[in-house]
Amino acid sequence: MSQTFGWICCESKLDTKNRSPVWKKYHEAIDLDQNIPVVVCKKCPKWYKHPRSLNDSAITTMLKHSRKRDYVPMQVSNAGSIEQFLRHTSEHNSISMKDLEELLLETMAACNWPFSQFDRPEFQYFISRLVPGQTCPGRKRMKTLLTQAAEMAREEIWVRVSSCTSKISLALDCWSSSNSYSFMSIFHS
């Protein structure tokens, strides 16, 4: 691999027929200090975060910079590719199963998902693609997690209320809208 300005330059394996000519004026590299993919100008040490690492394929900044510079070829190593680095980085940035379950539980509550959502093959496939190496918990596991979270919340509320020395006022109000949506309001002071 060739090292330039604290970067390891990589050869891209992407289809070059559909790529902009501006890519010929940049090295795809890995910043060794920050461990992030970057693009480095072949004429000067100017660098930018790699557009694919930002989930953005816009190369406008690269185009503007390259118009100011003359093209000077530099030797590039073919020992690795930016695609391998991005794939490797995403594998190492995956979250633990516990974190995934917590995120799914919070999302399930916020989005009012049914438990059956977690047994749908499409949803399980989505989670497996989103978080490689992890499996989507099923409806029974989500029910267990929700029951545990509800019990913890109940205990926390009990501790808060039992330690309170002042009076607590609680008002509840329920109603239905004209389009049959139900609402409940809880007010305390």
Ranges assigned E (strand) in 26-169: 26-31, 36-41, 47-49
For 139, the token pair is: 């409806």
SS3 call for 18: coil
| pLDDT tens-digit readout, 77-107 | 555 565 665 565 555 556 888 999 999 999 9
What pLDDT does 35 receive? 75
Question: Does the structure show a pLDDT above 90 at 143?
Answer: yes
| pLDDT tens-digit readout, 154-182 | 999 888 888 888 877 778 888 888 888 88
Question: Do both 183 and 101 map to the same domain?
Answer: yes
77, 74, 85, 87: which is closest to 34 by C-alpha? 85
Contacts 24+ apart (CB under 8 A), 85-93: 85/10, 85/30, 85/37, 86/37, 86/52, 86/53, 89/35, 89/37, 90/132, 91/132, 91/133
Query: Any residues with CB less than 8 A from the CB of 134 and at least 6 apart, and which?
Result: 94, 95, 97, 100, 127, 128
Q: Which residue range(s) make up the domain with 83? A: 2-92
* Residue tagged 């919070």 (tokens): 106
With vertex at residue 90, the alpha carbon angle to CA 49 and CA 8, rounded to the nearest 5 degrees, is: 45
What pLDDT does 106 receive? 92
What pLDDT does 156 receive? 92
| pLDDT tens-digit readout, 58-77 | 677 788 887 775 555 555 55
Q: Please name every residue paired with 186 in a beta bridge, in sequence order, or none if there are none.
A: 172
Question: Do both 74 and 101 map to the same domain?
Answer: no
Question: Do both 79 and 101 map to the same domain?
Answer: no
What pLDDT does 91 receive? 53
SS3 call for 162: helix
Question: Do both 73 and 6 map to the same domain?
Answer: yes
Question: Do both 125 and 180 map to the same domain?
Answer: yes
Question: Do both 48 and 130 map to the same domain?
Answer: no
Q: Which of 71, 92, 113 is the endpoint of a domain?
A: 92
What pLDDT does 5 receive? 46
Question: Do both 176 and 117 map to the same domain?
Answer: yes
Q: Which of 66, 92, 118 is the endpoint of a domain?
A: 92
Question: Do both 123 and 85 map to the same domain?
Answer: no
Question: Do both 71 and 112 map to the same domain?
Answer: no
Question: Do both 101 and 179 map to the same domain?
Answer: yes
Question: Do both 17 and 79 map to the same domain?
Answer: yes
| pLDDT tens-digit readout, 1-35 | 344 445 555 555 555 556 777 877 887 887 777 77
What pLDDT does 118 receive? 94
pLDDT, mean of residues 129-139: 87
Radius of gyration of the chain (CA): 26
Q: Which of 67, 92, 117 is the endpoint of a domain?
A: 92
Number of domains in the chain: 2
